[in-house]
Amino acid sequence: MHLDSSQEKLLHGEGGEAKQFAMEIVTKVGDAVGADSLVPIKSAHVLAHYSSLHDAGVEVLERFADSGGKFAVPTSVDPASIDLQNWKSFGIPEEYAHQQFRLCDAYAKMGGMKCWTCVQYQVCNFPKQGETVAWAESSAVVFANSVLGCRSNKITAGMDLACAVLGLTPKFGMLENENRVAKVSFKLGIRDLDDLDYRSIGFFIGRNAGARVPVLLGLPGSISSDQIKHLGAGAAAAGPVTMIHLPGITPGTSTASDAAAGEELEEIEVTRSGLDDIKSDLNQTSEPPDLVAFGVPHLSAGELGELAKMLEGRKLKAGVKMYAYTSSQAYDMAQRTGIASTIERSGARITHSTDAEISPLRKLGFKTVMTNSAKLAEIVSSEGEIKMRYSSQKDIMAEVTR
């Protein structure tokens, strides 16, 4: 990989230990993936949650921070493994919280934004069309490439910090025009879609696209950004999807021909039976849940409002808890507008700056979790410690509230 003179100096330590460490990481990764150069980024999004990074991740982040590392571009961070304000009331063990706060302290020392969320593009990190970014959250990468018209690869842990410290990333993958061309078409042949359908459509695409960039045809014109968010999250959970061409939404893509640069595409139909198969596959049990989890990815303020309407005048049944996961920014808005109090009167709780998929659910005693998130159902079930149930929000409410 070619480095310019200033980058060579950083690699040889002239910019300090943190930048040298970062250059060692990006050059090794760049060489491994066949990148020919490093290119500037406009923003970064990194990981600092203890459940995935463990003690080794704490050591890496603290090494960057203690050696003078500072983020060179605006940098946001994925949810923590605990509610940073209310962790004690959720039963988080002291030692577990201590390790998470070590990560928080190191991240803050490096100048990161206090924006612990997987939907940074909705609340704090707003790149412009055409900009290159280095984001580590898989669902956000799909949104950035597919909706915002940005360019980002799915950046791995450790590499994310290196890119953020340097303001540079290797040029490969989704940063190259030829790798953004659609290679397979999915045609949606069903109507009257509910919240679960959008998640399942994404999961179906992720399962069947493989490494090919897909284009999705037939979405209703009324689709919301939140529905696209959940669709992309499902796709990224089921396979290596980092971009979905959505004609009329993705910048530069008005038709399937635009997405495919005029080439013929294999067409795969998304049918009701196909979505039913996804639902069946993601359901592991019919046992009553002891936790209902909404918000993977994080719920927007609008989605919290919808949840409040569904819960108004209702109560959770005995033996089940309901957590709605969101960003601190959306949580503050819900508090000011009365949405939060409506939700909490039902017995449910809003928790912010954390996420169910990276929380120590088993340590907290949960055995069966019910959700409408394909991402959560896939990731948690693959760990084998907790049984998952996957159902629409309407059906969940009918089962767990009175």
How far apart are the C-alpha atoms of 346 and 314, rounded to whole Å?
Answer: 6
pLDDT at 218: 97
| Residue 320 confidence class, pLDDT cut points 50, 70, 90 | very high
What does the pLDDT look like over 150-202, one tens digit per residue?
999 999 999 999 999 999 999 999 999 999 999 999 999 999 999 999 999 99
| Structure-token match 């928790």, residue found | 351
User: Whose CA is closest to 246, among 217, 269, 220?
Assistant: 217
Determine how many CB atoms are found less than 10 A away from the CB of residue 9: 15
Rounded-to-integer distance, Cα 135 and Cα 383, Å: 24
Is the pLDDT at 137 greater than 80, yes or no? yes
pTM for the model? 0.97
pLDDT at 383: 67
Q: What is the pLDDT of residues 201-219, one digit of tens each?
A: 999 999 999 999 999 999 9
When the pLDDT of each residue in the chain is averaged and rounded to a whole number, the result is 97
Contacts of 91 (CB under 8 A, 6+ apart): 364, 365
What six digits make up the tokens of 137?
């959250």
Query: Which pLDDT belongs to residue 240?
Result: 97
Q: What's the start-to-end Cα distance of the chain, in Å?
A: 62
Listed range (20-29, 105-114, 376-385) with the worst mean pLDDT: 376-385
What's the pLDDT score for residue 381?
78
Judged by average pLDDT, the poorest of 24-33, 259-268, 378-387 is 378-387
Q: What does the pLDDT average to over 60-64?
A: 98
Domains observed in the chain: 5-176 (3.30.499.10), 181-273 (no CATH), 283-400 (3.30.499.10)
Confidence of residue 25 (pLDDT cuts 50, 70, 90): very high
- Reported as a pLDDT band with limits 50, 70 and 90, residue 269 is very high
CB 116 within 8 A of CB 84: yes
Instruction: Evaluate if residue 132 carries a pLDDT over 70.
Output: yes
Structure confidence by residue, pLDDT tens digits, 356-397: 999 999 999 999 999 999 999 999 976 668 999 999 999 999
